[in-house]
């Protein structure tokens, strides 16, 4: 019954839930939990705002994990200690592929490990891949919600430094520009900051994980979406529907 240090909850608050939806921003948590039954906030410690709701009387956890790999790793590790074994990330992202448009949603089948956290866990050759159960559940949810026209599925890029998207701001601008071109040429769909960490840790621990991201900015042009809920609303709906199917 002891509470985990960072997320500040125990099995009492989770009711031994096995299913978790994570996001970056604490503000997004109530938007997700609003789609669950009888949702309520059970903790808000540091960047971890946590709600519990229900689907068919089964407890579902929703938690923010802050920005980036380290805080995501801490959050999912502590939820795992409480018995969670199925995790879907709902996030935002920047566009790399010209096939992806502002407001589209992207399911990550795998992620480029361009961050430091997972390299503290395992050698670079180890892949960051989503669990097929979650990939298929997200795809089925998209079809159920008739969102195929804005849906993409494939490899995403996970990084540590948000402003590395603007190479002229950093000393290694030439190297950075060439790296971004490489990811684009390799058909990488979007860039974000958490999927590779979630996928690697989940694979190592034997959990199921996936991610659905809204494309809210264009990395090359710098254009951002005006309606911040466009894409995010659909990503949230897809994640909740996918969790329902994974039950």
Taking only the tens place, the pLDDT of each residue in 6-57 is 999 999 999 999 999 999 999 999 999 999 999 999 999 999 999 999 999 9
Closest CA to 86 of 151, 19, 23, 14: 19
Taking only the tens place, the pLDDT of each residue in 177-229 is 999 999 999 999 999 999 999 999 999 999 999 999 999 998 877 777 666 68
CB–CB of 133/203 below 8 Å? no
Class of domain 11-246: alpha beta
| Residues forming beta bridges with residue 208, ordered by sequence position | 86
DSSP 34-92: TTSEEEEEEEEETTEEEEEEEETTEEEEEEE--SSHHHHHHHHHHHHHTT--EEEEEEE
CA distances (Å), 143 to each of 3, 34, 137, 209, 237, in order? 39, 22, 10, 20, 12
Taking only the tens place, the pLDDT of each residue in 61-109 is 999 999 999 999 999 999 999 999 999 999 999 999 999 999 999 999 9
| pTM of the predicted protein model | 0.96
Torsion angle (degrees, nearest 10) of CA 28, 29, 30, 36: 120
How would residue 167 be classed by pLDDT, with cut points 50, 70 and 90? confident
What would the two tokens of residue 190 be?
């979007």
């Amino acid at each position: 019954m002891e509470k985990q240090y960072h997320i500040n909850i125990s099995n009492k608050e989770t009711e031994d839930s096995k299913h978790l939806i994570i996001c970056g921003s604490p503000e997004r948590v109530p938007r997700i939990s609003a789609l669950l039954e009888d949702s309520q906030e059970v903790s808000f410690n540091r960047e971890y705002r946590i709600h519990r709701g229900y689907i068919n009387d089964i407890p579902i956890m929703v938690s923010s994990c802050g920005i980036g790999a380290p805080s995501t790793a801490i959050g999912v590790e502590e939820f795992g200690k409480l018995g969670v074994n199925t995790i879907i990330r709902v996030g935002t992202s920047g566009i790399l592929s010209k096939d992806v448009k502002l407001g589209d949603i992207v399911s990550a089948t795998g992620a480029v490990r361009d961050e430091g956290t997972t390299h503290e866990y395992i050698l670079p050759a180890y892949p960051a891949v989503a669990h097929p159960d979650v990939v298929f559940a997200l795809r089925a949810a998209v079809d159920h919600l008739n969102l195929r026209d804005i849906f993409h599925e494939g490899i995403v890029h996970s990084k540590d430094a948000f402003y590395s998207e603007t190479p002229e701001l950093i000393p290694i601008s030439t190297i950075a520009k060439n790296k971004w071109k490489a990811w684009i040429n390799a058909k990488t769909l979007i860039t974000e900051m958490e999927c590779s960490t979630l996928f690697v840790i989940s694979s190592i621990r034997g959990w199921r994980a996936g991610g659905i991201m809204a494309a809210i900015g264009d990395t090359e042009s710098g254009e951002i979406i005006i309606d911040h809920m466009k894409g995010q609303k659909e990503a949230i709906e897809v994640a909740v529907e996918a969790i329902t199917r994974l039950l």
